[in-house]
Structure 1
C-alpha cells in the first residue's frame, strides 16, 4: 500500500461554514446585495484589495493603534519629566519599549522604530519649546 492511501480527504472548513450559513438564510439581507462591486477592487493584488476593503469598513491595523499609544505614552512621560516628576521613569521607559518591540514585530519593516530613551524625551521637550 502507498502512503497516500491513508490520507484523509481535504476539508474546506471555512467553505463549509459559509455554505451552512447560506442555507440558513444568513446571506439573504446583506447590505449591497445585487449592487455591482467597485471597479477599484479589481485593480492591484489581493493584499491591496484586502487593505482597501478593510479601510473602507473602518478597520485599523493593531500596529497603528500601538503607534498612537506609544506616541501618547512618550508625550505623557515628557510632561512628567518637565514637571520634575521622575518617579518610575526608567520603569515607564521599559513599558514603552515593550510596546515599541511589539509594534516593530507587527508593522511594515520601513516603519519600524528604535527604542525610546531619555534622549527621545529630551527631543520631544526641545520640539515643544
Structure 2
C-alpha cells in the first residue's frame, strides 16, 4: 500500500488567512504588540479569560442585548396599558414572552426570569 495515500495534504484555512493577513501588514500595528503577556492570562479558567477579554473589547453577549430589548419593550407596553391604549398589546406581550424564553436559554441561571402577563405588566416592567 502506498504511504502517500495516508499523508494527504490538509488545508489549514485559518492558518492560511492569518499568513495572508500577516503578509499584507495586518499584524504590524496591533495594540499591545511587543509587550509581555500578563501573568493572569496563564492562570485560571480559559472561559473566564475569554469573557474578560471580550468585555474589555466592548463585546456584549446576546442575552444582555435581549435583556435591554425586553426591558424597553415592557416599559413601552406598560406605558400604553396605563393610558388605556390596549389594541395589539396582548400580541406584543406574546412576542416579549418569546424573547424572555430565548433570554432564559442563553443567560446564566440565576438571572433567568418568568414570562409576563398583560394584567401584571407594570410590575413586570419594574422587575426588568
Relative to the length of structure 1, the TM-score reads 0.80
Number of residues of Structure 1 aligned to a counterpart in Structure 2:
123
**Are positions 1:39 and 2:39 aligned together?**
yes
Q: Is the 8 A contact 1:67 1:103 kept in 2?
A: yes
Q: Is the 8 A contact 1:42 1:49 kept in 2?
A: no
1:116, CA displacement in angstroms?
1.7
> Aligned partners of 1:88 and 1:7: how far apart in 2?
64
> Aligned partners of 1:68 and 1:120: how far apart in 2?
19
> Aligned partners of 2:58 and 2:70: how far apart in 1?
21
Give unmatched runs, 5+ long, in structure 1.
none
Equivalent residue for 2:27?
Answer: 27
Equivalent residue for 1:77?
Answer: 77
Equivalent residue for 1:111?
Answer: 111
Secondary structure of the corresponding residue to residue 41 of structure 2? helix
1:9, CA displacement in angstroms?
4.4
> Aligned partners of 2:98 and 2:70: how far apart in 1?
10
Q: Is the 8 A contact 2:93 2:117 kept in 1?
A: yes
> Aligned partners of 2:85 and 2:17: how far apart in 1?
55
Higher relative contact order (CA 8 A, sep 6+): 2
1:113, CA displacement in angstroms?
2.3
Q: After the TM superposition, which residues 53-92 of structure 1 pair with which residues of structure 2 at under 5 Å, given as runs? A: 53-92=53-92
Give unmatched runs, 5+ long, in structure 2.
none
Alpha-carbon RMSD across the aligned residues, in angstroms, is: 2.3
1:19, CA displacement in angstroms?
1.6
Secondary structure of the corresponding residue to residue 74 of structure 2? helix
